Amino acid sequence: MKLGELLKGLLIGSERHSNIADALEVRGLVLDSRIVETGDLFIALTGAKQHGLAHINEVINKGACAVLFDPSGEGNELAGAITDIPVILVENLGLVLGELAARFYGNPSKVLDVIGITGTNGKTSCSQFLGQLLDSCGIIGTLGWGEWGQLNKTVNTTPDALTVQQILAEFVKGKKQTVAMEVSSHGIDQGRVNGVHFKGAVFTNISRDHLDYHGSMEAYLAAKLKLLQAPGLRFVVVNLDDASCNAIIAAAPKSVEVWGVSTQGRSVSSGKSVHAEGIQHTLAGIEFDVRWQGDVQRINAPLYGDFNAENLLCVLAVMLAMGQSL
């Protein structure tokens, strides 16, 4: 792909930079200088300890075709001393990267049914359950990425924006149809899921967590709610027994169908509700009746704890929202 095509509408710079971008062929996108190969475009972000441009000599020696850099931190100063390779400034590069990577990999999420699962607890359980229940389902989350029972390691619950798009492209190549993806508040706030088209979202629960990063519960919830603005979102599953449910429902766009789940008989006033009734805990696991639109089915699962009744309800609501029958 030509660099100019990749940056179309995003590059605000000189005519010289535009001409350079139009001429360069990009073979790959790379964040880590250690794995640069000939023809790669190096993405230089501002890191917690140093700027990516600190590794520019290694990048040049390995044959990168050009560098995109974020001007924050030491970015502008470091870029000013570079003459051996095209270096192009992109404001807020970390937030733009998801869209860039999506373009480079052909917008893989547009041909996948991606379900984003967020919340303080239950993300991993829900993603693993969906990975077993949905047809041809890929998984991205705390335990890794791949398919159920065959996961590759990931560094973060939600990988960086470039890795997310690389994984989604691999799922397309592997003929996956759906993806169950854990979406952390850090991942949303840092733009790691920018460029991902979600079909559905799940909010498991919201409790005190990551306040060292977000600063307050209000900011933490606000970060989670950004998932509701994801392009292509059609439905959201909300735990009605969680204290934050009303705020989540209120933030959902009118175009997004709300599915509420409850073990305590609560329902949504506008949307669809799925209930768990008669919960029993046995040595074999958990049992309960699922009620939806007059239909009732008995669920038996080798899982323990009331929280897993909520997790299973969330998963069942996703299945129903995607057209499955109870």
**What are the phi and psi torsion angles at 61 (to 5°)?**
-65, -30
Q: What does the domain layout of the chain look like in residue ranges?
A: 3-91, 107-321
Residue 192: the pLDDT is 96
* Mean local confidence (pLDDT), 228-253: 97
Q: What is the mean pLDDT of residues 239-264?
A: 97
Fold match between domain 3-91 and domain 107-321: no
pLDDT grade, residue 14 (50/70/90)? very low
Q: pLDDT tens across 155-201, in order?
A: 899 999 999 999 999 999 999 999 999 999 999 999 999 999 999 99
Q: How confident is the model at residue 12 (pLDDT cuts 50, 70, 90)?
A: low
pLDDT in tens, 48-57: 889 999 999 9
Is 0.75 surpassed by the pTM of this model? yes
Superfamily grouping for domain 107-321: Mur-like, catalytic domain (3.40.1190.10)
pLDDT at residue 117, as a whole number: 98
Least confident span in 8-17, 90-99, 300-309: 8-17
Per-residue pLDDT tens over the stretch 67-89: 999 999 999 999 999 999 999 99
Is the CATH number of domain 3-91 3.40.50.720? no
pLDDT tens digits, 90-137: 999 999 999 999 999 999 999 999 999 999 999 999 999 999 999 899
